[in-house]
């Protein structure tokens, strides 16, 4: 479903003279209806991988395929269509500050061309699933960290994407909220959606018991079917 092939990603260093290697010959494939965790220390290249998957960045060399198509060869005008097929939960939530909870989720349906009646039907349902029914009219700055994260997940889910990419979704949360979010992602996976979870949370990974890809220094150092957090 999502395949990274010999990905090398370099960034110019701050001095500008040298190149910082973010990903070094990374190759792996995420199969349909799989739950894959990508683990590694901060700066290991987890976020870069997810950015490459949605064509937010281009690899220095290598290819990223989504459903058999090289995402970096897709025409610029077609990139929105690609992104509509992928649900992304961003590390910093990236919620729309000027829209309330309902509108944040509804916006995704609006850009995919859903009818108003579908929006009115589906948004309350998804907000109920993530436990935000009572916060429909609140704006992001009125929500707690856990609520923001659940809203970000609701927004990533609402249009029933083929895959969910969650980048450190528990990074800013306390243990109680962390496991609430993980339970939600597992529920999404169990309903048949592919989930890619990027995290550096040892406890989360060790309780999941699913496939774990470990990145270290931009390289894949481990890829285990029922992995644990080993670094």
CB closer to another protein out of 115 and 225: 115
Q: Applying CB under 8 A, which residues contact another protein?
A: 54, 56, 77, 80-84, 88, 90, 94-98, 107-108, 110-113, 115-116, 155
107 CB-contact burial (10 Å; exposed 0-12 / middle 13-18 / buried 19+): middle
CB closer to another protein out of 81 and 121: 81
User: Would you say the C-alpha torsion 147, 149, 152, 156 has a positive or negative sign?
Assistant: negative
Q: Which secondary-structure segment (H or E) carries 211?
A: strand 211-216
Could you tell me which residues come within 8 angstroms of residue 11 by beta carbon, excluding any fewer than 6 positions away?
Answer: 19, 20, 22
Nearest approach in angstroms of CB 175 to another protein is: 28
Nearest approach in angstroms of CB 227 to another protein is: 29
Nearest approach in angstroms of CB 107 to another protein is: 8
CB closer to another protein out of 64 and 108: 108
- Distance, in Å, from the CA atom of 198 to the CA atom of 45, rounded to the nearest integer, reads 10
CB closer to another protein out of 22 and 88: 88
Which residue is associated with the tokens 């339970």? 183
Nearest approach in angstroms of CB 216 to another protein is: 27
CB closer to another protein out of 112 and 177: 112
Exposure on the CB side of residue 91, measured as CA atoms within 13 A: 12
Q: Which secondary-structure segment (H or E) carries 90?
A: none
CB closer to another protein out of 15 and 77: 77
Look at residue 67 and give its three-state secondary structure.
coil
- Distance, in Å, from the CA atom of 41 to the CA atom of 187, rounded to the nearest integer, reads 26
Nearest approach in angstroms of CB 209 to another protein is: 31
State the alpha helices, DSSP H only, in the chain: 46-53, 79-84, 101-111, 116-129, 145-157, 175-190, 202-208
Nearest approach in angstroms of CB 80 to another protein is: 4
């Amino acid at each position: 479903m999502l395949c990274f092939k010999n990905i090398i990603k370099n960034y110019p260093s701050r001095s500008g003279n040298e190149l910082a290697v973010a990903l070094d010959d990374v190759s792996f494939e995420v199969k349909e209806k799989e739950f894959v965790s990508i683990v590694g220390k901060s700066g290991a290249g987890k976020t870069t991988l997810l950015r490459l998957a949605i064509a937010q960045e281009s690899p220095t060399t290598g290819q990223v395929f989504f459903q058999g198509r090289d995402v970096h060869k897709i025409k610029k005008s077609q990139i929105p269509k690609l992104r509509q097929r992928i649900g992304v939960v961003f590390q910093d939530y990236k919620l729309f500050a000027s829209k309330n909870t309902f509108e944040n989720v509804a916006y995704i349906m609006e850009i995919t061309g859903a009818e108003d009646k579908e929006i009115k039907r589906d948004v309350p349902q998804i907000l109920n699933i993530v436990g935000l029914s009572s916060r429909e009219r609140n704006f992001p700055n009125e929500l707690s960290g856990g609520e923001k994260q659940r809203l970000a997940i609701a927004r990533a889910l609402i249009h029933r994407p083929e895959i969910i990419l969650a980048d450190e979704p528990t990074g800013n949360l306390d243990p109680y909220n962390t496991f609430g979010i993980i339970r939600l992602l597992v529920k999404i996976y169990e309903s048949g959606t592919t989930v890619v979870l990027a995290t550096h949370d040892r406890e989360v990974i060790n309780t999941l018991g699913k496939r774990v890809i470990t990145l270290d220094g931009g390289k894949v150092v481990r890829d285990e079917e029922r992995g644990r957090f080993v670094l």
